[in-house]
Chain A
Amino acid sequence: MPEATKYQDPATIQRVLHTGRSIAIVGLSANTLRASHFVGYYAQRHGYQIIPVNPREEQVLGEESFNSLTAVGDTVDIVNVFRDPAAVPAIAKEAVAVGAKALWLQFGVISDEGAAIAADAGLDVIMDRCLKVEHARYIGRMHWLGLNTEVVTARRPVRR
């Protein structure tokens, strides 16, 4: 199985989205036009606790920004990464150290080494997938935009 699809398992993605409550976003920008801000805004709107990790910001989306994952202190369920792939192995080690349950690498953030560090420590790993898109696919309203969710079901969804 290619590395990328190994870390794109639909069941894992849904479990992480449904069980996680706090998301540390590494590289979260205060610039509202950046992809990281789109994801942070969306996740906060859908009730997740957002923890910005970015030494260049003081506060993002009304939350204090931390210099590193290890500086956070609070429980981190999902570590969501918007960084250069080269930075991922170090982030993965920190994610393991703070007891995170999942490492989620965004579109283009591809690091087999980082993914392996987290997976070997028992974390769920998702790679080259967008947290906002996957949430919208299974829980949100991606189907309102004519995008192919690949969800095919005759079950009546729970209203949301």
Chain B
Amino acid sequence: MPDPRYWRKPFDSDKVKSPKGVVYVIKDRCKGCGFCVEFCPRGVLVLSVEFNKKGYHPPEVVHPDRCVNCDLCERICPEFAIYSLNQDEIIELAP
């Protein structure tokens, strides 16, 4: 389905498929800095209202369908608490 923000359908939209990612959050390792929430280019994340074990608010995935597996959250996380995997890799991973 084309992105509703484009005013026309791109010519190669049937050939070029944007990758789909799945975001994983290791909640108890997060220190609630909010870098991933602030800089995610697709607005996938938001800080949750719940607390983790250390008393911080870990990020929460609110728009999982928007993620394109760009890896920005994994790189910008100073705590190594969030990462995204390509959906195809996860299918391989499952037994």
A binds B: no
Task: List the interface of chain B (C-beta within 8 A of A).
Answer: none
Task: List the interface of chain A (C-beta within 8 A of B).
Answer: none
